[in-house]
Chains A and B, each alone.
Chain A
Amino acid sequence: SQQGEEDPQALSIQEGENATMNCSYKTSINNLQWYRQNSGRGLVHLILIRSNEREKHSGRLRVTLDTSKKSSSLLITASRAADTASYFCATGPAGGTSYGKLTFGQGTILTVHP
C-alpha cells in the first residue's frame, strides 16, 4: 500500500495564485521529498526536507514538515502556467543512511490556467 497520501487529488487555479498540496505518511521517515512530473515524462526533484527540519524554501517553493502529525505541505507561490504538472511526495525510510528506497504518494494534479 502507498505510504503517502496526498490531497487534493486535483487542484485547478489561476496564474498568480498560490497552490498548496498536502501529504500524509504512516511510518517513521528519514526525509521527505517532493517531485514534479510533467505528463508522460520523468521526475524532477524539487526539494528534500529532513526529519529534523520543519520548513524549507527554494525559490517559489515552501515545504513544511510536521513529524508529529506525519504530514507535509508544498506551497507554490505566484503560480505560473508552466507549473502545471503532477506533484508527488516521497518518503525515505528511517533507520538507514540511504535516501533511495522511496515510497511515493498518490500525487496531486495541478492545473494552472493562464
Chain B
Amino acid sequence: GAVVSQHPSWVICKSGTSVKIECRSLDFQATTMFWYRQFPKQSLMLMATSNEGSKATYEQGVEKDKFLINHASLTLSTLTVTSAHPEDSSFYICSAEGIGGGREQYFGPGTRLTVT
C-alpha cells in the first residue's frame, strides 16, 4: 500500500529557532500534499495545500511567512516553522494525494513539535 513518511517524528527546539519537517511519499508520486496541525485532544486543522512546482495555498488564519512550505518534487514536501514559539507546539501531520483515478489520500505518522 501507499506509504507516507515524516521526519523527524518528534523534535524539541528553542523559542526563536526554525524547524523543518519533511513529508515523503515513499512508493508513489504525489502532486498534492496537505499539512495539518493537531493540538492536544483536538481535531486536525488543515493548514495548507502544497502543490508540486507551485506556491502553497494557505487556509485562512495561517501565516504563510511563518509556516513555509516547499514542494520541490513529486515525493517530497517540507514545512518549516520559522521563529518558533511555544504556542507553535503541536502535532503536525501531512498527507499525500496519489496520482491516478482514485486519488486517495494517505497520511503520514505525524511530527510532534515542542518549543521550549
What is the interface of chain A mostly: helix, strand, loop, or mixed?
loop
Least Cβ distance of B75 to chain A in Å? 16
Cβ A102 vs Cβ B46 within 8 A: yes
C-alpha spacing A102/B44, complex, angstroms: 9
Q: Count chain A residues whose beta carbon lies closer than 8 angstroms to a beta carbon of B.
A: 22
Q: How large is the interface on B (under 10, 10 to 19, 20 to 34, 35 or more residues)?
A: 20 to 34
* Residue of B46, B103, B106, B109 touching A103 (CB-CB under 8 A): B46
29 contacts between A and B (CB under 8 A): A40-B110, A41-B109, A42-B108, A42-B109, A43-B44, A45-B104, A45-B105, A45-B106, A45-B107, A48-B104, A88-B43, A90-B44, A97-B103, A98-B32, A99-B97, A99-B104, A99-B105, A100-B32, A100-B34, A100-B49, A100-B97, A101-B34, A102-B46, A102-B105, A103-B46, A104-B43, A105-B43, A106-B43, A107-B43
